[in-house]
Structure 1
Amino acid sequence: MNTSLLMDNLTSPALLFFLLGIIAVKVKSDLKIPENSSKFISLYLLFSIGFKGGQELAHSSFNMEVFWSVFFGVATAIVIPFYTFFIIKKKLGIDNAGAIAAAYGSVSAVTFVTAISFLELQKVEFNGHMVAIMALMEAPAIIVGVVMISFFKKNNDIKISEIIKHSFTNGSVLLIIGSLIIGMLASDSQAEGIKPFTTDLFKGFLVIFLLDMGMTSGKKLSDFIKNGWFTSVFAIAVPLVNGCLVAILSGFVTQEIGDRFIFAILAASASYIAVPAAMKIAVPKANPGLYLPMALAVTFPFNITIGFPLYYAVVLMT
């Protein structure tokens, strides 16, 4: 791995503000981001990414590379929860296995947003259809996780149709898909009118949001450690394998460095917004004290510190 790339990532304002949030919790500071402000910033980030992705799509043509990229993304979201379910099942039980598998097969919109900031630092572009692929990868993983639970517990009470509906009507998914479509429909002059809001303010809002995420992670980290070594190792090893493997395999779909890096990040990330909401409805017996801290307090920090430069290096080498 390029050490200068690693140092650039470790000294980026986004990561340092995330670490500041963790430190604030550990020193018991009264620093706090108001809940309503935190929700607004997360909605803004999703809107901005979706809208800009839609603008990119409006200027690109649908070709076979786009088709295979969509297929590759959805296939990744199906395969990852399928194999991870069997890794976890014996150790943590069927319900927890399904929820954790769904979380790691699904994607983290916040990791995606932070990854874009990393690409901008490297002056590398990515195609707008990657935003659509991110949104499409959310639901398949949730469905696979629920189906696996239903199959192994022989539970016919779980209504897959409701889970599918909830996956696509989840606030974060709906906003990013809606913003993507609106971005496609808006003309260049209309998009230029709101550019100061969609583009210029983006990095500032991102670092404040990551400060809040750091505080949230710091609060959950101590509870997570009590669950032992298995969940800790899983929360690092599985994303590491997924990210590196997809970074290599994505080369068969596209040669765009930015797109391949995004694919790796999507495969390595874990959902802590859409999946917990879906699992609360579908599998209430699954313990959120496991899958939520795994995704938020371990996998997310690992990806934005070590994962980003590592996956990027793998893409450049293959």
Structure 2
Amino acid sequence: MSLDLVLQNILNPPILFFFLGMLAVFLKSDLTIPQPLPKLFSLYLLIAIGLHGGYELSKSGLSFDVLKALGLAVFMAILVPIYSYFILKTKLDTYNSVAIASTFGSISAVTFITGITYLQTINIEYGGYMVAAMTLMESPAIVIGLVFAAIFTKESSDEKTKWNEILKEAFLNPSVFLLMGALIIGMSTGQKGWHSMEPLFGTLFKGFLAFFLLDMGLVSARKIYELKKAGLFLIGFALIMPVVNASIAIALASFFGLSKGDAFLLALLSGSASYIAVPAAMRLSVPQANPGLYLPLSLAVTFPFNITLGIPLYYYIINTFWS
């Protein structure tokens, strides 16, 4: 992998703000972002990417290529938590295996957004329908985790109300709901709608991303101190599995003829891990699992790895194959 690709990704203002946040924690600075603001940044990024994706989807329509990309996304979202569970089960109990497998089977919207920014920086086109792919990939891992917990612990998730709450969390959690809603609005309003919203959700996008990644740097660095609970096996899992998952996605994307930009985003989504939707669902549905394992692994290991080294690595592999 070329050093230029790594530097091109890292020497990007939003990424540097992520490191600035981590540095603030390591140097024991009092830097903080008032708590309501990170939520606002999250909402902004989800709306912005959903609107733009809907606009792009309104131009492309639901062609065979679009359906092919969406089908591969769903396939990866189902496959990853299944084999991740059986790998983890060799070292962990069922509850923690389910929670960690579900975490790594789902996706990180911020990693996806950072990947899109990278593609824009190097002028590589991608399909707006990949936003829909991201939305479809968030929930299957939660459902699979619940099924595995019910089967392999031999304990029935007997309370109907509990299942209702869990499935609601899987399919109607705020990020999925907002992304899908923004996507539909972008599709419905098309070019005229996007141009009317572009000054806020297009021009200012990188500025809001920098604020958000600054906060993520602060949070990630604080979670690093919890990694001593995880052990070398889990830290290795959090570093190796993203590359394995992304490589499988790249192979499938190559076989099915996805474009370079779409293949990169599919690989990045497959190699990412959830730190919002799945942890919330696991706390509700698998309280026996230790949040001190699955949350730091995704937030303090996999997320920093992906947005610094993973992005240029996946692009290098794709660029080599597609060339």
Please say whether Structure 1 and Structure 2 have the same fold, judged by a TM-score greater than 0.5.
yes
Residue number in structure 2 paired with 1:278:
281
Residue number in structure 1 paired with 2:75:
75
- Of the three residues 267, 271, 291, the one matched with 2:294 is 291
Q: CA deviation at 1:188?
A: 2.3
**Contact in 2 for aligned 1:47/1:176 (Cα 8 Å):** yes
Q: CA deviation at 1:313?
A: 0.9
Residues 16 and 100 of structure 1: is their aligned pair in 2 closer, same or farther, counting only changes over 3 Å? same
Residue number in structure 2 paired with 1:302:
305
Q: CA deviation at 1:315?
A: 0.8
SS in 2 for 1:92: coil
**Contact in 2 for aligned 1:143/1:160 (Cα 8 Å):** no
> Structure 1 stretches of 5 or more lacking a match?
none
Q: How high is the TM-score relative to the length of structure 2?
A: 0.96
Paired with 1:278 and 1:191, the residues of 2 have a C-alpha distance of 33
**Contact in 1 for aligned 2:69/2:258 (Cα 8 Å):** no
Paired with 1:67 and 1:187, the residues of 2 have a C-alpha distance of 20
Residue number in structure 1 paired with 2:46:
46
Residue number in structure 2 paired with 1:114:
114
Q: CA deviation at 1:160?
A: 4.6
- Of the three residues 228, 237, 243, the one matched with 1:240 is 243
Residue number in structure 2 paired with 1:181:
184
Q: CA deviation at 1:161?
A: 4.7
Q: CA deviation at 1:92?
A: 2.1
Counterpart residue type for residue 7 of structure 1: L
Paired with 1:253 and 1:164, the residues of 2 have a C-alpha distance of 32
Counterpart residue type for residue 301 of structure 2: V
Residue number in structure 1 paired with 2:91:
91
SS in 1 for 2:257: coil
Residue number in structure 1 paired with 2:150:
150
Residues 187 and 241 of structure 1: is their aligned pair in 2 closer, same or farther, counting only changes over 3 Å? closer
Q: Deviations over 1:51-93 (max 9, x none)?
A: 0000011111212221221111111011100001011123221
Paired with 2:235 and 2:221, the residues of 1 have a C-alpha distance of 15
Residue number in structure 2 paired with 1:129:
129
Paired with 1:187 and 1:61, the residues of 2 have a C-alpha distance of 11
Counterpart residue type for residue 217 of structure 2: G
Q: CA deviation at 1:274?
A: 0.4
Counterpart residue type for residue 303 of structure 2: F
- Of the three residues 169, 172, 175, the one matched with 1:172 is 175
Counterpart residue type for residue 56 of structure 1: E
SS in 2 for 1:90: coil
> Structure 2 stretches of 5 or more lacking a match?
none
**Contact in 1 for aligned 2:102/2:144 (Cα 8 Å):** yes
**More moved, 224-233 vs 208-217:** 224-233
Counterpart residue type for residue 200 of structure 1: T
**Contact in 2 for aligned 1:232/1:294 (Cα 8 Å):** yes
SS in 1 for 2:202: helix
Paired with 2:312 and 2:272, the residues of 1 have a C-alpha distance of 14
**More moved, 82-91 vs 262-271:** 82-91
Counterpart residue type for residue 35 of structure 1: Q
Q: Deviations over 1:92-126 (max 9, x none)?
A: 21111101101111000010111111111111121
Q: CA deviation at 1:248?
A: 2.4
Q: Deviations over 1:123-162 (max 9, x none)?
A: 1121011000100111111111111111101121265554
**Percent of pairs identical after alignment?**
48
Q: How high is the TM-score relative to the length of structure 1?
A: 0.97
Q: CA deviation at 1:244?
A: 2.0
Paired with 2:196 and 2:228, the residues of 1 have a C-alpha distance of 48
Paired with 1:43 and 1:293, the residues of 2 have a C-alpha distance of 23
Residue number in structure 1 paired with 2:66:
66
Q: CA deviation at 1:255?
A: 3.1
